[in-house]
Amino acid sequence: MTASIEQPQEGKIIPVINNFSKWPWWALAIGLAALVIIYNFITNQSYNDAISYIGTGVITTIRVTLTAYSMALVGGLILGLGRVSKNVLYYNIATFYVELMRGIPMLVIILYGAFVVVPVGLNILTTLGNWLIGISFLAGVGQALTQLDIQKIDMSGRAIAGLAMGYAAFEAEVFRAGIQSIDKGQMEAARSLGMNYVQAMRFVILPQALRRVLPPLGNDLIAILKDSSLISALAVNDITQLGKKFRARSFSSFEAYNTMAFLYLTMTISLSMLVKFIERKTSRGR
């Protein structure tokens, strides 16, 4: 038996095979596929048509994604603090919202946001505005609120509202987990120095929690980018909607969908590399 333990060191073939089998073949395959598609964009007329038509949707996709994501982060932080709050009302409202949103498909949330929440919310705001005009020093605010018009909020704005509503619930759970992962002694030490709850959260707990949740927040950025394709249901001209349109008028399904997949993959893979980079950096830190 002792001899067999030494065997791997004698046979030098084994490490070579191991290295070879550890190659990132999948990445190579994706890279190759990308090269083939890029080659087609340059040389093949119908691919060229596809990319120049669908490519204009990239800006919309990125704009919708980043806006909705920022809003989801803010909403998620507020909800996440509610999820760890000892205030019964705050905790219950946050938990109610999170449980509700996590149980509804994203597409339904987007439709709901676009056709129910945004119009109803605007109605409430304009009613409030009319009421405020009567109060002398708030008349300006009231005037501004009555000027709000559903026509001025285009479908991409409504789509952003829906995506942000849904993702706020996911980010809330990320923040909650991050806050709860910080040792209880940190809060006790901060409180014993005389800080109140808000100060302890802001200066001691959140800075540590945020560092810890950077990787899951990054993953959710990738997820919301992919889910942004659902806004094509509202006829917003993002990558997916333009791809569908291109296929409908040219009947070149293969070109249309390959181009769409290529555009999404380019963005998601770059983002995931960025997330891994940040993850490595933060795990090395203090």
* Residues that bind another protein in the complex, under the rule CB under 8 A: 183, 185-186, 188-196, 199, 203-204, 207-208, 211, 286
Q: What minimum distance in Å lies between the beta carbon of 214 and another protein?
A: 13
Nearer to another protein, 66 or 195 (CB): 195
Query: CB-side exposure of 106: number of CA atoms within 13 Å?
Result: 20
List CB contacts of 67: < 8 A, sequence separation 6 or more: 160, 164
To which residue do tokens 């830190």 refer?
Answer: 285
Can you tell me the distance from the alpha carbon of 41 to that of 183, in angstroms, rounded to the nearest whole number? Answer: 53
Q: What minimum distance in Å lies between the beta carbon of 88 and another protein?
A: 17
Nearer to another protein, 187 or 233 (CB): 187
Nearer to another protein, 140 or 207 (CB): 207
**Cβ atoms 50, 259 nearer than 8 A:** yes
Can you tell me the distance from the alpha carbon of 228 to that of 239, in angstroms, rounded to the nearest whole number? Answer: 9
Can you tell me the distance from the alpha carbon of 80 to that of 158, in angstroms, rounded to the nearest whole number? Answer: 24
Can you tell me the distance from the alpha carbon of 283 to that of 214, in angstroms, rounded to the nearest whole number? Answer: 10
Nearer to another protein, 187 or 223 (CB): 187
Q: What minimum distance in Å lies between the beta carbon of 176 and another protein?
A: 19
Nearer to another protein, 24 or 285 (CB): 285
To which residue do tokens 């190759």 refer?
Answer: 32
- Please give the structure tokens belonging to residue 231: 């806004």
DSSP-assigned letters across all residues of 100-126: HHHTS-HHHHHHHIIIIIHHHHHHHHH
Nearer to another protein, 104 or 189 (CB): 189
* Helix 253-284 × helix 206-227 angle, to 10°: 170
Q: What minimum distance in Å lies between the beta carbon of 146 and another protein?
A: 42
